[in-house]
Amino acid sequence: MSTNYYESSLIEHKKYAGKVQVSSRVPLETRDDMSTYYSPGVAQPCLEIAKNPESAYDYTRKGRTIAVVSDGTAVLGLGNIWGLAGLPVMEWKAILFKEFGGVDAIPLVLKTQDPDEIISIVENIAPTFGGINLEDISAPNCFYIEDELKKRLNIPVFHDDQHGTAIVVLAGLINALKLTGKEIWSIKIVIAGAGAAGLSIAKLLQAYGAKHIIITDSKWAIHSKRTDLNQYKTPRIATNIDDQSGTLAEVLVGADVFVGVSRPNLISSNEVRTMNQDPIIFALSNPEPEIMPEEAYAGGAAIVATGRSDFPNQVNNVLAFPGLFKGILEARIPQIEHKHLIAVAKALADYVKTPTKDEIIPWALDKAVAQVVADAVKKA
C-alpha cells in the first residue's frame, strides 16, 4: 500500500508542532554559568561589539546564522498563500541548511508583500545575521528586492529560487554537453518560463559562455519587436541572436537544449523530434514535469533531467545552497557574484567522476557535496 504523504505530513507536523527548535551551546547549571554567559560577564562582549561591530562575528552566532525570508507569494507550486502558510516550507529549508551545511537558519515569514516594506524589514534585521536567503518570493518583485538589498547590506543576499536552480542546471548541463560532444558557445538553448528561475538560468548560462538563448513566457518568445517586456525580460532579447519570434514549439526547432521551469505537459515527443541531434531536456516543473522522461526519450532525447527524486538526474537546489552559504560565511564574503555561482556549478559537475546519461549531477542527499561546494566558493 502506497503512503499518502499529504495525510502523514499533516499528522507529523501537528505531532511536533514545528520542525525546528533552538538549543544552547553553553552550560546552564551553576551560578558561574549565569555570571559568565549572562550578567555581569555578558557586558564585556557587548562593549567589544560596540567598539568594533565586526567582532560580533567572534562573540555571537552572527557568523554562522542566516535568515530565510519569505513573503509567501510563490510557495512551491501552491502560488501566493502568504507568509504564514509558507512557514512549514521555511522550517524545512532551515533544516536543510543545518543538516547539509552546518549553517543555522532562522525562518522568517512576513505579513507584507510590498517590496519596499520587505526591503526595509530585512535591512533593519540584518545586523543579527551573517547572510540573507530570500525564498519563495515571486517575480518580478524578487529581482528588485534582491538587487536593492545587495546595494544596502554588507552581508551576502541570495534568492535561492533564482540562483540555486541556475547553479544546478549549469552543473548538469556541463556534464550533459561532455556526453553529447557539444560546446556551450555553439548550442541553441530554449528556456520555457520567464520568471525567477528562467531568467536567472539564462543569465548564468550566458555568464558561462552560452551565446544563443531564447526564453519563452506565457505568450511567446522574447524578441525585439515585443512591446510588453519589463526591465528584467528585455535584456534577454540580446541572446536571441536570430531574433526568433513565435511559440515555444516553433523556437524549439533545431534547439540543442530545452530547459523547462514552467508548467506540466508543456511539450511532447513531437517537439523533441524537431530539436537538433542528441537533444538535452531539463523538465523541471514540479511535481509534474513539462514532459515525462519516457516521452522525451521516445522523441530522441539523449539526456533527461527533472526536479523529481523518483527519476535519474534530479535537479535539486539542496546541492547548492547549504555549501554555498557555508563557504560564504566561513570566508566572510560580503557579496555573492557570478564567479561564485559558476565555481559551485563546476564543482558539482566535477564531483561526478564518470558522468552517464543517468548521472550528470550528484545525488541530492549526498552530504559530502556541501563541503566540496564550500571549498569551491572560497577559492573563487
Question: From CA 61, how far away is CA 8, in angstroms rounded?
Answer: 35
134, containing H or E segment: strand 131-134
Q: Which of 341, 377, 329 is nearest to 168 (CA)?
A: 341
Question: From CA 44, how far away is CA 314, in angstroms rounded?
Answer: 49
Question: From CA 43, how far away is CA 40, in angstroms rounded?
Answer: 6
For residues 212 and 252, the answer to whether their CB atoms sit within 8 Å is no
Beta bridge partners of 303: 280
Catalytic residue among 93, 203, 233, 357: 93
User: Catalytic annotation on 93?
Assistant: yes
For residues 109 and 87, the answer to whether their CB atoms sit within 8 Å is yes
Q: Which of 174, 201, 168 is nearest to 314 (CA)?
A: 168
User: Catalytic annotation on 59?
Assistant: no
Question: From CA 87, how far away is CA 75, in angstroms rounded?
Answer: 10
150: cell is 545587495
223: cell is 524578441
Catalytic residue among 16, 38, 367, 379: 38
Q: Looking at this protein, which amino acid is placed at residue 355?
A: P
Question: From CA 87, how far away is CA 217, in angstroms rounded?
Answer: 29
**Cβ density class 217-238: b for 16+ within 10 Å, e for less:** beeebbbeeeeebeebbeebbe
The residues assigned a catalytic role are 38, 93
